[in-house]
Amino acid sequence: MSQTATDQPLLRIRGLTKNFGTVDVLKGIDLDIRSGEVVSIIGSSGSGKTTLLRCVNLLEEFQGGEIVLDGESIGYASRNGSRRRLGDRDLSRQRSMTGMVFQSFNLFPHLSAIGNVMLGLLKVRKLPRDQARQIAQSWLDRVGLGGRLDHYPSQLSGGQQQRVAIARALAMDPKLLLLDEVTSALDPELVGEVLNTVKSIAQDGTTLLIVTHEMRFARDVSDRIVFMERGLVAEDGPPSLIFDGRRSQRLNDFLGTARA
Ligand SMILES: Nc1ncnc2c1ncn2[C@@H]1O[C@H](COP(=O)(O)OP(=O)(O)OP(=O)(O)O)[C@@H](O)[C@H]1O
Ligand SMILES: [Mg+2]
C-alpha cells in the first residue's frame, strides 16, 4: 500500500473512448491515479481492461477524450480544434513514461535474464554497458533472481520469467507500471511468488495500475479498486467499499463468479 500518495493525479483520464470499427470498447472512461497509488481494475472478460491499459501505454489509438500523464497530454496533439496522433518519436518518449507487463512474459529467448533487463537500458536509455549491467543486476536482485542472472528464459520457471519481465519494466524507471493479468498464464503453484513480488514493489511506493482476476490479492495490495463493465467504470472505491460495502447487483454478480 502506498506511503507517498499526493493529491495531484499522476494519471488523469477523461472521457476516453475507443472503438474497433463498429464496436465501442471504451465508452467514456474517467480515472485518476495519484503518485504512489496502487489501483486494481477488475471486471468481466471483454469489459475493456486490456484495451484501457494499451491506450495508456500508447499501444492503441483512441478516438476521444484525453489521457494526461504527469501533466502531459499523451498520444495526440490538438491544434485549432483538430486532433492528430503524435509522431513516432514523441510516442516512444511518452511510452517510456509507462512500463507494461503482459500475461505472456515476452522475454527474448536468445538473451539471458540480465540480457533481457539490460536491453532497454542499452538501446533506449543508451547507458554504458557497465552501468546498464549494474542497474539490471540490482533489479534482478530486487525480484529475488540475483542468483539467476545468466539463465536463459527456457531455463527459468514461468514465475521466474515473469519476475524478469517485471524487473525489465522497472529498470526503465517508469512513472507508472501497468500490469495486465501477470499471473494468468502461470501454473497455480507459481502465482504466489509473482504476487508477492508485485506486493513488495507496491510497498516501495511504485505507482501501479493492475488488471487482475485475483480478488484476494487485489483487496490486499490496492488503495483503490475500479470495477469496469462494458467499457465504463461502474464502481471506483477503496477495497473495503468494493468488497464489503453496498454494491450494485452487477458487481455482486461479478464477484460471485470471480475467484475469491
Ligand atoms: N484488436 C482488436 N480488434 C477488434 N476487437 C478487439 C481488439 N482487441 C479487443 N477487442 C474487443 O474489445 C473488447 C474488450 O477487449 P479487452 O481485451 O480490452 O477486454 P478485457 O476486459 O481485457 O477482457 P479479458 O478479461 O478477457 O482479458 C472485446 O469485445 C474484444 O473482443
Ligand atoms: Mg484483458
Cβ count within 10 A of residue 162: 29
User: What is the predicted pLDDT for the residue at 102?
Assistant: 94
Comparing 245 with 18, the larger pLDDT belongs to 18
pLDDT tens sequence across 213-243: 999 999 999 999 999 999 999 999 999 888 8
User: What is the predicted pLDDT for the residue at 243?
Assistant: 85
Burial 214-252 (b: 16+ CB within 10 A, else e): bbebbbebbbbbbbbbebebbbbeebeebbeeebeeebe
- Distance CA(206)–CA(54), nearest Å, equals 19
Measured from the Cα of 60, ligand 1's closest atom is 1
231 alpha carbon, closest ligand: 1
The crossing angle, in degrees rounded to 10, of helices 113-123 and 129-142 is 130
User: What is the predicted pLDDT for the residue at 1?
Assistant: 47
Of the chain, the percentage scoring pLDDT greater than 90 comes to: 86
pLDDT band at 25 (very low <50, low <70, confident <90, very high): very high
Q: Which of 24, 45, 59, 226, when mutated, tests ligand 1's pocket best, judged by the most ligand atoms within 8 Å of its CB? A: 45
Could you tell me the three cell numbers for 77? 496533439
User: What is the predicted pLDDT for the residue at 7?
Assistant: 62
Q: Whose CA is nearest to atom 27 of ligand 1?
A: 45
- Distance CA(228)–CA(231), nearest Å, equals 7
Ligand 1, CB within 6 Å, residue ranges: 20, 23, 25, 43, 45-51
User: What is the predicted pLDDT for the residue at 246?
Assistant: 77
User: What is the predicted pLDDT for the residue at 8?
Assistant: 76
Across the chain, mean pLDDT equals: 93
pLDDT tens sequence across 87-126: 999 999 999 999 999 999 889 999 999 999 999 999 999 9
pLDDT tens sequence across 180-211: 999 999 999 999 999 999 999 999 999 999 99
Decide if 62 contacts 32 (C-beta within 8 A). Answer: no
Q: Is the pLDDT of residue 244 over 50?
A: yes
Q: Whose CA is nearest to atom 18 of ligand 1?
A: 48
- Distance CA(104)–CA(94), nearest Å, equals 23
- Distance CA(141)–CA(73), nearest Å, equals 35
CA angle 115, 120, 125 (to 5 degrees): 130
Q: Is the pLDDT of residue 141 over 70?
A: yes
Helix (H, G, I), strand (E, B) or coil at 143: coil
Q: Is the pLDDT of residue 53 over 90?
A: yes
pLDDT tens sequence across 145-173: 999 999 999 999 999 999 999 999 999 99
Q: Whose CA is nearest to atom 9 of ligand 1?
A: 51
pLDDT band at 249 (very low <50, low <70, confident <90, very high): confident
Q: Is the pLDDT of residue 132 over 90?
A: yes
Could you tell me the three cell numbers for 107? 522475454
- Distance CA(89)–CA(164), nearest Å, equals 27
CA angle 65, 70, 73 (to 5 degrees): 30
Which among 173, 234, 227 is positioned nearest to 205, based on CA atoms?
Answer: 173
Query: How many C-alpha atoms does 3 have within 13 Å on its Cβ side?
Result: 6
DSSP symbol at 232: E
DSSP symbol at 87: P
Q: Which of 18, 22, 23, 25, when mutated, tests ligand 1's pocket best, judged by the most ligand atoms within 8 Å of its CB? A: 25
Could you tell me the three cell numbers for 208? 501501479
Element (H, E) at 5: none
- Distance CA(120)–CA(169), nearest Å, equals 9
At position 124, the amino acid (one-letter code) is V
Query: How many C-alpha atoms does 162 have within 13 Å on its Cβ side?
Result: 25
Decide if 33 contacts 11 (C-beta within 8 A). Answer: yes
